[in-house]
Amino acid sequence: MTQFTFPAEWSPHAATWIAWPHHEPDWPGKLGPIPWVYAEIARILAEHERVEILCHDESIRAAAKEHLAAHGVHRNVQLHLVANDRVWLRDSAPTFVHDPAGDVVLANWDFNAWAKYPNFARDAEVGRAVERITGLHRIEPVRPDTGARLVLEGGGIETDGAGTLLVTEEWLLSSVQVRNPGLDRDGYERAFRDALGIRATIWLGEGCVGDDTHGHVDDIARFVAPGVIVLAYEEDPADDENHRRSVDNMRRLELAGAGAGALKVVKLPYPRAVTMHGDRLPASYANFYIANGVVLVPTFNDRNDRVALNTIAELMPDRNVVGVHALDLVWGFGTLHCLTQQQPARRAPGRAR
């Protein structure tokens, strides 16, 4: 069997993929400012790497060009006509992996819109579109028990690039999940080994309060270097449910090796609770995105913005750390990591993982 490897996000990128916002129900009553946020994200990224942008139709492509031009983005971006339902490419786009020769391959998961929305047929075809645009080989990972396509989303998996994966039980094993009915912990770990080359899976408990995906790990725990994890941690026990979840996830990481020194865990604060029309939103600094030479971090007009930016800057001193205002963006139940998907550069054959 071909052994694939899942590179860390800080590995060199060939490009970042995003899709231009167009689906008003994702930001009810707030779609207006969202393209301007996307244009700023594209501006920052285009200074460091190519940005590939999927546009739902010709009118959206024209709007994207207008917004990008207004932000002074005239190079290092490519716009593609690809119909899509929503723009959260972390989940609907393929996960880019390396094959043994170092070539980049598209691990194209089956996508069911987080088992929550009926309209996802176009998002389920994004992988084929990326294959057509890039010419990269596309694979469809399967369940080890039935051989059916594996339903998965990129926001639920986080790697150090050396064979360790972070996931949550809430996302894949809780009773509310209908992604891969009947697939157990051992089955998932076999699937991660086959599709991503994972040798060790660390199972955290629950994601953050307000997460529309039922527990994606990219809102709570992220690798920033080999053996170094930032964990979104709510210190105040009087605050809300996030404190209990934080304590449990810290305990799980300690059991996985932090106590023995195999892992270094650094706490990342939460901002104040962010709500809209009574709905709790998944506002988390952990939803940052690492690109070539830069880290984009969501900010929320909160006193902890500076703490989060400084913490990440200290842990990743080789990159410029840039805050991106995300109070409007998070109304769509996602921020910077959710909307991006990295395309790693080709790896030289024989290069160490």
Distance (Å, rounded) from C-alpha 180 to C-alpha 157?
A: 15
Asked whether the beta carbons of 141 and 194 are under 8 A apart, the reply is: yes
The residues that bridge with 142 in the sheet, in sequence order, are 149
pLDDT recorded at residue 350: 58
Q: Which residue positions in the chain have pLDDT lower than 50?
A: 352-353
Distance (Å, rounded) from C-alpha 100 to C-alpha 78?
A: 29
Question: For the domain 13-344, what is the CATH superfamily, name and number?
Answer: L-arginine/glycine Amidinotransferase; Chain A (3.75.10.10)
Q: How many CA atoms lie within 13 A of 153 on its CB side?
A: 30
Asked whether the beta carbons of 59 and 20 are under 8 A apart, the reply is: no
What is the dihedral sign for C-alpha 176, 242, 306, 225? negative
- Which tokens is 201 given? 């899976």
Asked whether the beta carbons of 295 and 322 are under 8 A apart, the reply is: yes
Asked whether the beta carbons of 151 and 112 are under 8 A apart, the reply is: yes
- Counted residue by residue, the chain has a size of 353
Distance (Å, rounded) from C-alpha 21 to C-alpha 39?
A: 10
Marked catalytic residue, from 97, 198, 338, 339: 338
**Strands (E) located in 121-183:** 137-139, 158-159, 164-168
User: pLDDT (tens digit, 9 = 90+) per residue, 251-261?
Assistant: 999 999 865 56
Q: Is 338 noted as a catalytic residue in this protein?
A: yes
Burial of 4-30, coded b for 16+ CB within 10 Å and e otherwise, reads bbbbbbbbebbbbbbbbbbbeebbeee
Asked whether the beta carbons of 343 and 317 are under 8 A apart, the reply is: no
Distance (Å, rounded) from C-alpha 38 to C-alpha 44?
A: 10
Distance (Å, rounded) from C-alpha 61 to C-alpha 90?
A: 20
DSSP-derived 3-state class of residue 138: strand
